[in-house]
Amino acid sequence: MISRKIKSQLAGGSQIRKMFEEGNRLKAIYGPDKVFDFSIGNPDLEPPHEVSDALADICSNPVPGMHGYMSNSGYESTRAMIAEKRSKESGLSINPGAVCMTVGAAAAMNDVLHALLDDGDEVIVLSPFFMEYNGYIANHNGKVVVVPTDENFMPVISRIREAVTDRTKAIIINSPNNPSGVVYPASLLKELNDMLKSFNHTIQVISDEPYIDLIYDGISVPCAMSYIDNIVVCFSWSKSLSLPGERIGYTLVSPKNADYDDLTAAIVISNRSLGSVNAPAIWQRVIEKSLYAKVDVANYEHRRNLLYSNITDAGFCAVKPNGALYIFMNTPAGLDDEEFADKCAAHNLLLVKGSAFACPGYCRLAFCVSEQTIRGSREAFFIIADELGISHRKAL
Amino acid sequence: MISRKIKSQLAGGSQIRKMFEEGNRLKAIYGPDKVFDFSIGNPDLEPPHEVSDALADICSNPVPGMHGYMSNSGYESTRAMIAEKRSKESGLSINPGAVCMTVGAAAAMNDVLHALLDDGDEVIVLSPFFMEYNGYIANHNGKVVVVPTDENFMPVISRIREAVTDRTKAIIINSPNNPSGVVYPASLLKELNDMLKSFNHTIQVISDEPYIDLIYDGISVPCAMSYIDNIVVCFSWSKSLSLPGERIGYTLVSPKNADYDDLTAAIVISNRSLGSVNAPAIWQRVIEKSLYAKVDVANYEHRRNLLYSNITDAGFCAVKPNGALYIFMNTPAGLDDEEFADKCAAHNLLLVKGSAFACPGYCRLAFCVSEQTIRGSREAFFIIADELGISHRKAL
């Protein structure tokens, strides 16, 4: 009875469920403080006070019709504020009409892909990547084309060029990246733009940007819109304001996009037709009042530092992530990601194998877990290193 | 650049936009109180006080993680309360696992159709019907099969039977109905179930139920789940609690459904993959606290009575709607729906032609507009009747 698409996703989904269940099983046996679960990327910080202040203010000062329908693209006033903010950041002149409020970035990406894809159109993704993209692309009958990044997880322009065909409709980029945490430099974005524009047909860049505010080491994230013309941004406040359960985000079509008129209109229709209809009214109002607020990023940076030290002090290797919520560590020589993940699980240390991001040879650890869990896990990293004959770089 | 599916919807969408613009144009010329716009079905009553009380309570008593991710199907506690309510109403024993919280009924229907449809699978719809269904079905590569209802807008079992093929995957029912306002009797639901079960393959009934609480004349809506086994309910609080801008609803798979296990799992995956991920957390919490509340239905009934009197007193014909927010009036003899709508617009009376619901020969009027607008429009109905040589049934 179930559609073939969903059947294949049901089979895939059960692996993730297995991992959750394994964590719960171990916690029941050893106690929650003896299990170090780095598998789940759930932002655990509370929203900044601006959010609760805005929410309280909205509830205390109700306006007639405040829970009613608005335009499918969202409130004009909310979109105007976002357009203003992104204009300042990008140096472009962005109108409210470029923005469509969405039920988070996942809905934003579905809206854009639905607007773009005909059966069999190809979408390039850069491994390692967030594998939900496979489902989003399949939902709209597209074909996923995976192009591996380099050893530092940076996109390789020549590889992408070779993957382009007449059916290439779009490429998804994601910086800061899940799972690698790397940030793409401006020069790379510029090169990507030049390369894509050398083809005879338009190739859209879909920039998935939920992590742009989670950035460490004092660096800044180059604004993809400033360097790429045919671009649609997909944003979510799930991480920036720690509101993942509330579903609020947007799409933004660059004013430089060759298909600006068609795309802005088509995305709004997608947003209605795919069932969101519009983003939740109350969260649009909250966003207006807390647009420039952010979660406590220093807290995430502190925990990243602790977990990164555990990994590298014990003797393992990982590229230090400049953003997002994950460390994508190398699997030690001689072990594939499944074997390594199993070895770690034997010491109650749970991580996600790189194959789940189309990138075996690595494992992902989310550092949005308690400091206690990170500190508690240090010994396990050292014991696993000992078992594998890996020399520590620092003392336990 | 834009996908073919969206291109066709872009063309269709512009007709509706034209109507909106016509209303605004007329209001600018004649003044808002001289234009009688019955075209828009936007629930205009404020939510009941239970909703604002619940919202205030949630904001005053924040709980850590209250804006975070939960299961893709929603909070267990919310789903348990809904399961309990629907168990009482249906006489079935419904588990929380049968319920998946969604971003309104539009998302619910997309989730279900995505879970069910392979390319070219057929979905029966009963005209007149809410034409967004066409988009929902096309999104998931299904084929729409339109079966007309009878002159009282009741489904005709023999006609539906004739439309069933080996590719029929589902039929959408909608009672109380948009646009006709009719309520399907229990006997009809039972007949439909018997007929559908006489085929060798399972045909799912998708019951779109956003209007079940907007019901007049002291009647009650037979619970479709009590009479139909292979059924999935799609519900939204957009109308019951006047929360259309907030996007909160659910899917519910009947415990009697032959595909219960597959369908409940598949719908949750659809909900994640199509981009909702989960229904807004805050609205799930509000629903828990105001599940048995309702908008002021008597107010809608009063306005239905006023508008129905205008139409029939002037001499026009319409089936009196027992539910929902619309009157689907007959186009007078000799005029098609477009001609009649144009004639009405010439008197600043705006309605939607039946063709927009796959049912020419009728026009839809939404009575969720101010009482002043309804009273103000009475004269226009009488003048139009005079022009068409139609005898009044009562005095102006």
Asked if the model's pLDDT at residue B42 lies above 90, the reply is no
Last residue of a domain, one of A255, A273, A289: A289
Q: Widest CA span of chain B, in angstroms?
A: 68
Write out chain B residues lying below 8 Å of A231, CB-based. Answer: none
Q: Write out the residue range of the structural domain in which residue A70 sits.
A: 49-289
Query: Which residue is closest to A135 within chain B, CA to CA?
Result: B273
Segment B123-148 shows an average pLDDT of 96
Half-sphere exposure of B254 (CA within 13 A, CB side): 22
Q: Do B260 and B311 belong to one domain? A: no
Q: For A36-103, where are the alpha helices, taking DSSP H only?
A: 49-60, 76-90
Asked if the model's pLDDT at residue B325 lies above 90, the reply is yes
Closest CA to B94 of B209, B233, B193: B233
Asked if the model's pLDDT at residue A15 lies above 70, the reply is no
A86–chain B nearest CA distance, Å: 23
Asked if the model's pLDDT at residue A12 lies above 80, the reply is no
pLDDT at site A272: 94
pLDDT at site B17: 63
Q: A9, B269: Cβ pair inside 8 Å? A: yes
Last residue of a domain, one of A242, A263, A289: A289
In a domain, B393, yes or no: no
In a domain, A368, yes or no: yes
Write out chain A residues lying below 8 Å of B109, CB-based. Answer: 275
B286–chain A nearest CA distance, Å: 13
In a domain, A250, yes or no: yes
Q: Which of A69, A139, A272 sits opposite B274 (nearest CB)?
A: A139
CB-neighbour burial class of residue B126 (10 A; exposed 0-12, middle 13-18, buried 19+): buried
Residue type, A23: G
Cα–Cα distance list, A73 to A70, A280, A284, B205 (Å)? 8, 11, 11, 31
pLDDT tens, residue by residue, A41-87: 889 999 999 999 999 999 999 999 999 989 999 999 999 999 999 99
Q: List the beta bridge partners of residue A100.
A: A251
Q: Do A43 and A115 belong to one domain? A: no
Q: Report the alpha-carbon distance of residue B271 to residue B279 in Å, rounded.
A: 9
pLDDT at site B14: 56
Last residue of a domain, one of B290, B315, B330: B290
pLDDT tens, residue by residue, B189-202: 999 999 999 999 99
Q: Which of B67, B259, B283 sits opposite A1 (nearest CB)?
A: B259
What residues contact B371, with CB distance under 8 A and at least 6 apart?
B302, B303, B306
In a domain, A393, yes or no: no
Which CATH number covers residue B327? 3.90.1150.10
Closest CA to A239 of A215, A206, A223, A207: A215
Query: Which residue is closest to A248 within chain B, CA to CA?
Result: B280
Q: Do A114 and A16 belong to one domain? A: no
Q: Do B280 and B134 belong to one domain? A: yes
Q: Do A282 and A306 belong to one domain? A: no
**Is the peptide bond preceding residue B128 cis, with omega within 30 degrees of 0?**
yes
User: Strands, E, within chain A: which ranges?
Assistant: 36-37, 99-102, 122-127, 143-148, 168-173, 204-208, 231-236, 249-253, 326-330, 349-350, 352-353, 362-366
Q: Report the alpha-carbon distance of residue B160 to residue B171 in Å, rounded.
A: 9
In a domain, A395, yes or no: no
Q: Which residue has the tokens 């066709």?
A: B8
Query: Which residue is closest to A45 within chain B, CA to CA?
Result: B65
Which one of A2, A110, A290 makes the best mutation probe of the B interface by having the most chain B beta carbons within 10 Å? A2
Q: A266, B3: Cβ pair inside 8 Å? A: yes
In a domain, B373, yes or no: yes
In a domain, B395, yes or no: no
3-state class of A312 per DSSP? helix
Q: B280, A247: Cβ pair inside 8 Å? A: yes
How many beta-carbon pairs under 8 angstroms link A with B?
223
Q: Which of A136, A278, A280 sits opposite B273 (nearest CB)?
A: A136
Q: Report the alpha-carbon distance of residue A244 to residue A237 in Å, rounded.
A: 7
DSSP string, A84-148: HHHHHHHSS---GGGEEEESHHHHHHHHHHHHHPPTT-EEEEEES--THHHHHHHHTT-EEEEEE
Q: Do B327 and B270 belong to one domain? A: no
Half-sphere exposure of B161 (CA within 13 A, CB side): 11
Q: B246, A202: Cβ pair inside 8 Å? A: no
Q: Do A180 and A100 belong to one domain? A: yes
Residue type, A66: M
Write out chain A residues lying below 8 Å of B263, CB-based. Answer: 1-2
| Three-state DSSP string of B71-103 | CCCCCHHHHHHHHHHHHHHHCCCCCHHHEEEEC
Query: Which residue is closest to B60 within chain A, CA to CA?
Result: A56
Q: A114, B6: Cβ pair inside 8 Å? A: yes
pLDDT tens, residue by residue, B99-115: 999 999 999 999 999 99
Q: Do A72 and A15 belong to one domain? A: no
Q: Do B139 and B109 belong to one domain? A: yes
Our count of domains for chain B comes to 2
pLDDT tens, residue by residue, A299-344: 999 999 999 999 999 999 999 999 999 999 999 999 999 999 999 9
Segment B276-291 shows an average pLDDT of 97
In a domain, A371, yes or no: yes
pTM of the entire structure? 0.96
Q: Do A36 and A119 belong to one domain? A: no
Query: Which residue is closest to B247 within chain A, CA to CA?
Result: A280
B389–chain A nearest CA distance, Å: 39
DSSP string, A354-373: GGGGT-TTEEEEE--S-HHH
Which CATH number covers residue A239? 3.40.640.10
Q: Do A43 and A69 belong to one domain? A: no
Write out chain A residues lying below 8 Å of B250, CB-based. Answer: none
Q: Do B198 and B336 belong to one domain? A: no
Interface confidence, given as ipTM, is 0.96
